[in-house]
Amino acid sequence: MTPTVAMDQQEQVSARDLLSDADLTPGDLALIFDLAERVKASPGAYSRALAGKQLAMIFEKPSLRTRTTFEVGMTSMGGHAIYLDHTKPRLGERESIKDVARNLERWVDGIVARTYAHQAVVELAGNASIPVVNALTDLYHPCQAVSDFFTLREKFGRLRGLKFAFIGDGNNVCHSLMLTGAKLGVSVRVATPAGFEPKPEVTEEARAAGRSASASPQLFHDPFEAVAGAQVVYTDVWASMGQEFAAHLRSQVFAPFQVNNTLMATACRDAVFMHCLPAHRGQEVTDSVLDSNRSIVYDQAENRLHVQKAILMLLMQAETR
């Protein structure tokens, strides 16, 4: 690919937007991985890939990795990112989401949105003629999942057949890992306390997506059963953004699901530990695991930059064709 011109027809994802993991086919994921690998190896070759392009970033929630990687990604490819703080008021409160979308499409070339309600990004995409990327909603976190599996491909040299255990809350990250994993041949084993399982409709969607690859997710209530023999052990915070009011209660319910040395000892010897961050040290994971040589959490964080650059190129350059 010549980075200063639009990509050819073979380097375009099938979706116009990235709203959930359901938008990406296995072929799309392979395309993103291959482009991200090239971008990571030779970032300077893509310094003008999005020259003159403008990206609006709508954030209802705080962010370190997502905001920084999207802004750095756009700047390093010759574009510009505009941060729109919607923590107060929330998106749709000052003016309708439809009007926000129809204004932005006149000024910018793409929208990245980090919202509470998933319907907000759906409505943005439905009213904007430019690409919309989900940078996290309460339902999905597709950029995180795609980057995580890219990181695992780097580590293990393959994805299909990996034994992957997710321990904790059946939240947005869990949903995306199940869906994307199923398409890549990775069966995600999810262990949660009773009543905190991933949404049944998402679980069924992941099972349907994974049938052809024999990679249906499995649900457990015993973290040791889920982790036994796993090559990947993944956890996330017990109370997601917006659930802080329940943090104390959740800390008691989830205490047996802490990822510590005892739990990691039941995984494979070459098992890696993953966390999407930020981590609450001493809660969902101990320092001894998070800071160990098995932890690849900072590789995950770095790869958010390379994978999201690939996603932006594939979506935003396709708009120029």
Residue 214 binned pLDDT confidence (cut-offs 50, 70, 90): confident
Average pLDDT over residues 192-201: 97
What is the reported pTM?
0.94
Active site residue 114: yes
Q: Which of 17, 23, 236, 317 is catalytic?
A: 236
pLDDT per residue over 144-192, tens digit each?
999 999 999 999 999 999 999 999 999 999 999 999 999 999 999 999 9
Active site residue 144: yes
What is the distance between the alpha carbons of residues 143 and 304, in angstroms, rounded to a whole number? 7
pLDDT per residue over 33-46, tens digit each?
999 999 999 999 99
Average pLDDT over residues 219-226: 98
Contact 143, 18 (CB under 8 A): yes
pLDDT of 15 reads: 82
Phi, psi dihedral angles at 260 (to 5 degrees): -135, -175
3-state secondary structure of 238: coil
pLDDT of 248 reads: 81
- In order of their start, the domains of the chain are 9-140+303-320 (3.40.50.1370), 145-300 (3.40.50.1370)
Active site residue 9: no
Question: How many C-beta atoms lie closer than 10 Å to residue 261's C-beta?
Answer: 10
Residue 240 binned pLDDT confidence (cut-offs 50, 70, 90): confident
3-state secondary structure of 55: strand
Q: Which of 144, 283, 300, 317 is catalytic?
A: 144
Q: Which of 141, 175, 250, 306 is catalytic?
A: 141
Active site residue 236: yes
Residue 56, C-beta contacts closer than 8 angstroms, at least 6 positions apart: 81, 82, 84, 104, 107, 108, 110, 111, 112
CA separation (Å) from 248 to 52, 147, 259?
A: 47, 31, 18
pLDDT of 241 reads: 66
Question: Percent of the chain beyond pLDDT 70?
Answer: 94
Phi, psi dihedral angles at 184 (to 5 degrees): -100, 5
Active site residue 106: no
Contact 2, 117 (CB under 8 A): no
Q: In this predicted model, which residue has the larger pLDDT, 308 or 247?
A: 308
What is the distance between the alpha carbons of residues 44 and 40, in angstroms, rounded to a whole number? 9
Question: How many C-beta atoms lie closer than 10 Å to residue 201's C-beta?
Answer: 9
Mean pLDDT in the chain? 93
Active site residue 280: no
Task: Give the chain's end-to-end CA distance (angstroms, integer).
Answer: 15
**Helices 26-41/297-316 angle, 10° precision:** 110
Q: Which of 67, 175, 276, 283 is catalytic?
A: 276
Amino acid making up residue 101: A
Encode 154-165: b = buried (16+ Cβ within 10 Å), e = exposed. ebeeebeebbbb
Alpha carbons within 13 A on the beta-carbon side of 227: 26
pLDDT per residue over 255-308, tens digit each?
999 999 999 999 999 999 999 999 999 999 999 999 999 999 999 999 999 999
Residue that is written with structure tokens 């509470």 in the block: 116
Average pLDDT over residues 83-97: 92
Q: Which of 304, 306, 308, 317 is catalytic?
A: 304
Helix, strand, coil percent content, the chain, rounded in steps of 5: 45, 15, 40
What is the distance between the alpha carbons of residues 73 and 300, in angstroms, rounded to a whole number? 15
